[in-house]
Every structure is written in structure tokens, then in C-alpha cells.
Amino acid sequence: KGKRAFIAGVADDNGYGWAIAKSLAAAGAEILVGTWVPALNIFESSLRRGKFDESRVLPDGSLMEITKVYPLDAVFDNHEDVPEDIKTNKRYAGSSKWTVQEVAESVKEDFGSIDILVHSLANGPEVTKPLLETSRKGYLAALSASSYSYVSLLKHFLPILNPGGSSISLTYIASERIIPGYGGGMSSAKAALESDTRVLAFEAGRKRKIRVNTISAGPLRSRAAKAIGFIDMMIDYSLANAPLQKELSAEEVGNAAAFLASPLASAITGTVLYVDNGLNAMGVGI
Ligand code: NAI
């Protein structure tokens, strides 16, 4: 039987989430996505109007189908957590049941279970500030949106993840090496995400035979990356210095995710898999 995937963090056709959805769809999976509430309307209307049709084309010529789009804000775990100003914010008021717990409940109601959980989201309001200039609030917001959001997603989806299933997140090498410009606590958030990948692999493995891995991806000109402001420099740096001198395509990360989600990776859990043209292995730029 075909597998079902829930991919959190898809709001356009430029990011890693979209590419992962495509690779999983190409491998025969049914696709559900979670879209950040403020981006929901534009994403759904663009989908409906055919704006993404070109990027929906799969290798066999068919178009990727997204069975359902769920509104999601992964910084809120349940309805009681949502502050009044968000509840009444007009970008949120039009949607309901978008906290992590409610989304997991809705997916359970609609489909019963899933096989693959993907976390492809991050947010750091002070990402452009060096760590020394980052406020406590900004730092904790980066951790909340980019690290705890994954703990929360896995926790709430674990009961409906079929045993043998797989969970994947996206990380960045700024967690372990100095990447000036990746600020606001985002480097810290990725370090937490990678450490949590190991602990969660143990806990979810023992509890439900679920594998937990993270992909350390090279630079991609996504919406989120453009907001950081140094993405073109990072792409040029990789082109100049990585063992493989080609621009990384989102599809290459999507294909690695499809591998990790497949039975071909049945003994792989708790790992950080680099999909970066090998840049991580370099010691100096040349
Ligand atoms: P993207 O902009 O396509 O994806 C980020 C998504 O997160 C967006 O759809 C945004 O709406 C969503 N989001 C933000 N806050 C949210 C919240 N509170 N609740 C739900 N959704 C929320 O950008 P990209 O770059 O594809 O990011 C996906 C993942 O890949 C992130 O974890 C990012 O850190 C990681 N990554 C990106 C790299 C790059 O160069 N683009 C390199 C290495 C890792």
C-alpha cells in the first residue's frame, strides 16, 4: 500500500518542503502539507489558479497532487496556548485548528495515520543580528519556531505514525561551524535540532519503531533564505569551494529525503545526513 506523508513548512514552490513533497509523490506517497497560517491564503489560491502547475510536474509527466493543505502555526502546541492578539489577528481569524495538537487531531480524523513526517520550517526574527546582539526574546523565538516546533510535531504525530515510519527535518551546518550572518540564535536552534534528532531517534525508536533523521542541506535560494540576506554569497562560496562544483538543486535534497523515508534506509536513524555537494568536508576554502 502507498505511504502517506505530512510535510510541515510548504508555502510556495521554491523551498525544500515543496521539493521533498515532489520526491515523495514521485515515489508514490500521498501528500498532505502544513502551511503557515499567514501564508495559507496566497498558497492555496496560487495552487488553485495553477500558478505552481509547472513545478508540479513529476518525472512521469503527471502533476503532483496535494491531497489536503492544513493551516499550521508550529509555535503553538494547543488552543489554550494561543494568546488573544493572535486569535483576533485578521491573518489568523479566517482559519481554525492550526495548533500542532489540533492539526495532528485533524489528520487523524481525516486519514487515520501517516507514515512519513517532515519538518521543513524555521523562523528567527533576529536572524540578521549577530549572536552578541540578539535579544533573549529573539533567541527564544528562534528556538521555539525552529527547534521545539519539531519536538512538538513529533510528539503529537507519534501516536498516528505507523511503526516503521520515518521522520525528517532540515538543518544547516551553522550548527557546528561558524557561519557569520546566520544569527539571531538560528545557529543555536540548528544545534538543538541536531542534538534532539539523536534523543528523539532513541525515544521514538523505542516507543514506536520510528526513525528520526535530519538533512544538513546546502544553500538554496528559498523565500526563508532570501530573508537572511546572504544566500547568494553562500551559493557562490559553495560553487567555488565544494568538492562538487555545481549549484545544489532542491530536488537533490528531496531525493535524499525520499531515500531516508524509504525501506532502503531501514537501519538509519539518529543521523545528520549532509546533502551539500560535500562542502561540509572541506577544511579551508581554496
Ligand atoms: P521556505 O521558506 O521554503 O520554508 C520555510 C517555511 O517555514 C515557510 O513555508 C514558512 O511559511 C514556514 N514557517 C515559518 N514559521 C512557521 C511556523 N511558526 N509554523 C509553521 N510554518 C512556519 O525555506 P527553506 O529554506 O526551504 O526552509 C526549509 C528548511 O530548510 C528550514 O528548516 C531551513 O532552516 C532549512 N535549510 C535551508 C537552507 C537554505 O539555504 N535554504 C539550508 C539548510 C537548511
55-102 pLDDT, tens digit each: 999 999 999 999 999 999 999 999 999 999 999 999 998 999 999 999
Q: What is the pLDDT of residue 286?
A: 79
Cα 229 to chain center, whole Å? Answer: 20
Q: Is the CB of 73 under 6 A from ligand 1?
A: yes
Q: 222-249 burial string, b = 16+ CB within 10 Å, else e?
A: bebbeebebbeebbeebbeebeeeeebe
Rounded CA-CA distance 89/86 in Å is 5
Q: What is the pLDDT of residue 154?
A: 98
Q: Nine-digit cell at 48?
A: 488553485
pLDDT averaged over every residue in the chain: 97
pLDDT band, residue 285 (cuts 50/70/90): confident
Percent pLDDT > 70 in the chain is: 100
pLDDT at 16 exceeding the cut of 80: yes
0.95 exceeded by the pTM? yes
Report the nearest atom of ligand 1 relative to the CA of 74: 19
Report the nearest atom of ligand 1 relative to the CA of 190: 34
Q: Is the CB of 188 under 6 A from ligand 1?
A: no
Report the nearest atom of ligand 1 relative to the CA of 18: 3
**128-143: per-residue pLDDT in tens?**
999 999 999 999 999 9
pLDDT at 241 exceeding the cut of 80: yes
**Cα 122 to averaged position of ligand 1 atoms, centre (Å):** 5
Check: complex ipTM more than 0.95: yes
Contact 98, 72 (CB under 8 A): yes
Q: How far is CA 51 from CA 8, 36, 54, 265, in A?
A: 21, 19, 8, 34
Rounded CA-CA distance 216/190 in Å is 9
pLDDT at 8 exceeding the cut of 80: yes
**How confident is the model over 9-18, as a mean pLDDT?**
98
**Cα 282 to averaged position of ligand 1 atoms, centre (Å):** 25
Q: What is the pLDDT of residue 61?
A: 97
pLDDT at 1 exceeding the cut of 80: no
